[in-house]
Structure 1
Amino acid sequence: MRVLVDATAIPAQLRGVGRYLDNVLPALVTAGVEVTALAQARDRKHFEDLGVACVPDVAVPAGRAARLAWEQYGLPGVAARLAPDVLHSPHYTHPLRWRGPLAVTVHDGTFFSDPQWHTRTKGPFFRAATRLAVRRADVCIVPAQATADELHRRLGLEPDRAQVAHLGVDTALFKPPDAEAKARARAAAGLEPAEEFIAFLGTLEPRKNVPALIRGWVSACARLAGPPPALVLAGGAGWDRDLEAAVAAVPAGLRLLRPGYLPLAELPGLLGAATVVAYPSLGEGFGLPVLEAMACGAAVLTTRRLALPEVGGEAVAYAEPTDDSIADALGWLLTDPQLREQLGQAGLARAARFTWAACAEAHLRGYEHALRRSRQEGRR
């Protein structure tokens, strides 16, 4: 199986799609798939170091609009020259001029179910891209059954054209950290050496529900008999208009830290050192921070929205995404170290089920389906 993967949409900071490709592409190579990545010049050595071959000497514009134009007018020619068994577009969009076997990854369906979580430009763009993918792709690869169900309900995606590929976790990196890793992550976040804290990891966007987390943390701290834990909001800046007001309302005496985007190597120390990792999202296509926190032995608090229960199962604590429910759950967890220990152990066991090898195997099934469907329609 020869697969050409368009990896040109990866941002400079490795967020969602970058983390996904960094892990699934080497796993596909290990599984025997002949993977070739189309990457921007800055990323080629990175992929080659991961054991993934790259197309040489292809100039891909770095700007978003220019890259999207190249995807439509430059990528089809490169794909036609290389003649892969399948073209895989891993981030919603794909070249409309490509008529061969096509797999498109659709990461979530919230652009349709909850458009208010997205910006006025991002929402319409990704809704249009998703509609085209559902209409034209031989297979849509999705990270959770909840996402497949949402695309079926909203857009009529046939179940046999949806390939669920749960994301995995790199347990060589995401594992219970040692004292040195914890100390390094504490310093990176601005914490004192022995300071207890609640950690959040993710882009500060509306769906992450961070203002409710802040208010719930403030309320939970008011009920504690001992010193209150700090709240660390780690992740890239987003567009949550309610965030600054929630931050400004934090009482004196409580510590809220915003270290921004942290290097990947610091994340296990942060997650594993936290008293609680809180991820009270309003809905996710998967929820990779929950899985990674579980793999680090953390006690995790999240919600039962969309795909999050598919990830957490019975190994995490749940709250409704409201101030009061988050406050109650945090208060419960902060005062019960035995429960936190039980959740940490359960999380480790559950996280071990989510491997990138299994994710790669699901991708391969999707590619095989795309190739069969294309042949049946006489396009290959």
Structure 2
Amino acid sequence: MLVDATSIPPNRGGVARYISGLLAGLGEVEVSVDVVVKPGDLDWLRTLAPAHRYHAAPAWTARRPARLLWEQLGLPGLLRRVGATRLHSPHYTFPVSRASRTVVTLHDATFFSDPAAHSRLKVAFFRAWTRLARRRAAGTVAPSAATVAELDRLAGRAARPTVVAHLGVDQAVFHVPDADEVAAFRAAHRIAPDEEWIAFLGTVEPRKRVPALIDAHRALRAVDPTATPTLLVAGGLGWDTAAAQELEAAGDRPGEPLRHLGYLPIDELRAFLGGARVVVYPSTAEGFGLPVLEAMASGGDVLTTRRLAIPEVGGDAVTYTEPEADAIRASLATLLASGPDAAAARAERRDRATARAARFTWAACARTHLGVYA
């Protein structure tokens, strides 16, 4: 098996978490594969998943158009040279000439179900590759039953069933932070010792409903500013113009009610999520919802939605709301309530969250992929 890891993005978020987690999981179950990766990601990925044989792609594949061209013209030759009989393409696209030997991962169906959440170019591009993979690939994998159902409903006939492989969470990275870790996070981001925060983690794009979260937070502060924690938004600014303008105007100014922290190092995320009073993720469309799982594993008190795959992840360990500002405001007000009963309920939710998150492992994800590979 050759795994094509050249689709890892520069920020090493998103699909990078899936690729590195899957490779680590394969190592846990004592399976070694060949992996091709861009030179800039080689040492990083080898450190995270050392069990495999790594090959460097040409340096010019760092540019996306060039990478997609190399995928069609250069990757088949590498497949021959390493003697692999199967290829895993983990992010929609794959070499068409080797389709009958390729397993393709389809991460979500939002290009069909929620096209307004993406640019027109991305919708056209990913719809075409999704349909092609379902017709031509040796096998396809998706991270949730909800995604498979949406693909079956919207993406046309598939040659063979798409297999569900729930993602995992790295418990070495995402676990309940200790007091020292939370204190270090506070110091690094100039958060006062007695200051609480509400956390959002993710790329700021339309389906994440960040403007609705900001409006809900502003409404709560208008009623009682002293009882409403600071809203900390972590992640890159995507293509949600309204949210981007608001977050750019807010900046990252300590003491202000809204702060945009930008990308956080992965080792800070458990303190950011587990140290928050509430973690809010009001997304309308998720192929899986990895930020929800990571927040749960970190002991976060999570407020999210029942849309698509999220209930497969959150189960009864999170609180659900609708993705509109009024609903988010009302749900947040409930979760932010004070008193011994509220504190006990919050502790119970956090315990349920960590217990449920422990069931999602990369080793289990890897075993499911091995079945598809076979």
TM range (shorter): over 0.9
Letter in 2 for 1:216: A
The residue that corresponds to 1:364 in the other structure is: 370
Structure 2: how far apart are the matches of 1:53 and 1:247?
A: 42
The residue that corresponds to 1:286 in the other structure is: 288
Letter in 1 for 2:359: R
C-alpha distance 216-249 of structure 1, shift in aligned 2 (>3 A): farther
The residue that corresponds to 2:258 in the other structure is: 256
Offset, 1:157 = 4.8
- TM-score of the superposed pair, with normalisation by structure 2: 0.92
The residue that corresponds to 1:319 in the other structure is: 321
Structure 2: how far apart are the matches of 1:254 and 1:343?
A: 29
The residue that corresponds to 2:12 in the other structure is: 14
For the 8 Å contact 1:215–1:246, the answer to whether it is kept is: no
Does residue 276 of structure 2 align to residue 274 of structure 1?
Answer: yes
For the 8 Å contact 1:283–1:305, the answer to whether it is kept is: yes
The residue that corresponds to 1:373 in the other structure is: none
For the 8 Å contact 2:230–2:257, the answer to whether it is kept is: yes
Structure 1 residues without counterparts, runs of 5 or longer: 369-380
C-alpha distance 29-128 of structure 1, shift in aligned 2 (>3 A): same
The residue that corresponds to 2:332 in the other structure is: 330
For the 8 Å contact 2:100–2:138, the answer to whether it is kept is: no
Does residue 351 of structure 2 align to residue 349 of structure 1?
Answer: no
The residue that corresponds to 1:180 in the other structure is: 180
Structure 1: how far apart are the matches of 2:62 and 2:367?
A: 31
For the 8 Å contact 2:279–2:303, the answer to whether it is kept is: yes
Offset, 1:121 = 2.2
Letter in 2 for 1:307: A
Offset, 1:56 = 5.0
For the 8 Å contact 2:99–2:138, the answer to whether it is kept is: no
C-alpha distance 232-58 of structure 1, shift in aligned 2 (>3 A): same
Letter in 1 for 2:151: L
Task: Describe the superposition over 1:22-72 as per-residue Cα deviations: whole angstroms up to 9, x where unpaired.
Answer: 111121133233311111111222232221221257555210111111111
Structure 2: how far apart are the matches of 1:129 and 1:189?
A: 41
Structure 1: how far apart are the matches of 2:60 and 2:256?
A: 47
Aligned to 1:140, what secondary structure does the other structure show? Answer: strand
C-alpha distance 6-227 of structure 1, shift in aligned 2 (>3 A): same
Offset, 1:190 = 4.0
C-alpha distance 201-101 of structure 1, shift in aligned 2 (>3 A): same
Please list, as runs of the form range in 1=range in 2, the aligned pairs for 1:1-380 lying within 5 A after superposition. 3-49=1-47, 50-51=49-50, 52-55=52-55, 59=59, 61-158=61-158, 160-224=160-224, 226-244=226-244, 255-335=257-337, 336-368=342-374
Offset, 1:254 = 5.6
Structure 1: how far apart are the matches of 2:190 and 2:203?
A: 19
Offset, 1:78 = 1.1
Structure 2: how far apart are the matches of 1:304 and 1:159?
A: 30
Structure 2: how far apart are the matches of 1:66 and 1:314?
A: 45
Structure 1: how far apart are the matches of 2:345 and 2:225?
A: 18
Structure 2 residues without counterparts, runs of 5 or longer: none
For the 8 Å contact 2:2–2:33, the answer to whether it is kept is: yes
Shifted more, 132-141 versus 344-353: the winner is 132-141
For the 8 Å contact 1:303–1:318, the answer to whether it is kept is: yes
Letter in 1 for 2:173: L
Aligned to 1:187, what secondary structure does the other structure show? Answer: helix
Shifted more, 58-67 versus 356-365: the winner is 58-67
Structure 1: how far apart are the matches of 2:65 and 2:363?
A: 34
The alignment's C-alpha RMSD in Å is: 2.0
For the 8 Å contact 1:198–1:278, the answer to whether it is kept is: yes
Q: Which structure 1 residue ranges, 4+ long, deviate > 6 Å from structure 2?
A: none
Structure 2: how far apart are the matches of 1:154 and 1:307?
A: 16
Shifted more, 254-263 versus 311-320: the winner is 254-263
Structure 1: how far apart are the matches of 2:166 and 2:215?
A: 32
For the 8 Å contact 1:7–1:90, the answer to whether it is kept is: yes
Structure 2: how far apart are the matches of 1:298 and 1:159?
A: 41
Shifted more, 216-225 versus 280-289: the winner is 216-225
For the 8 Å contact 2:131–2:156, the answer to whether it is kept is: no
Offset, 1:220 = 2.4
Structure 2: how far apart are the matches of 1:242 and 1:56?
A: 40
Structure 2: how far apart are the matches of 1:226 and 1:256?
A: 14
For the 8 Å contact 2:238–2:244, the answer to whether it is kept is: no
Letter in 1 for 2:320: Y
Structure 1: how far apart are the matches of 2:158 and 2:72?
A: 26
Shifted more, 61-70 versus 337-346: the winner is 337-346
Offset, 1:358 = 0.6
Offset, 1:247 = 5.2
For the 8 Å contact 2:100–2:137, the answer to whether it is kept is: no
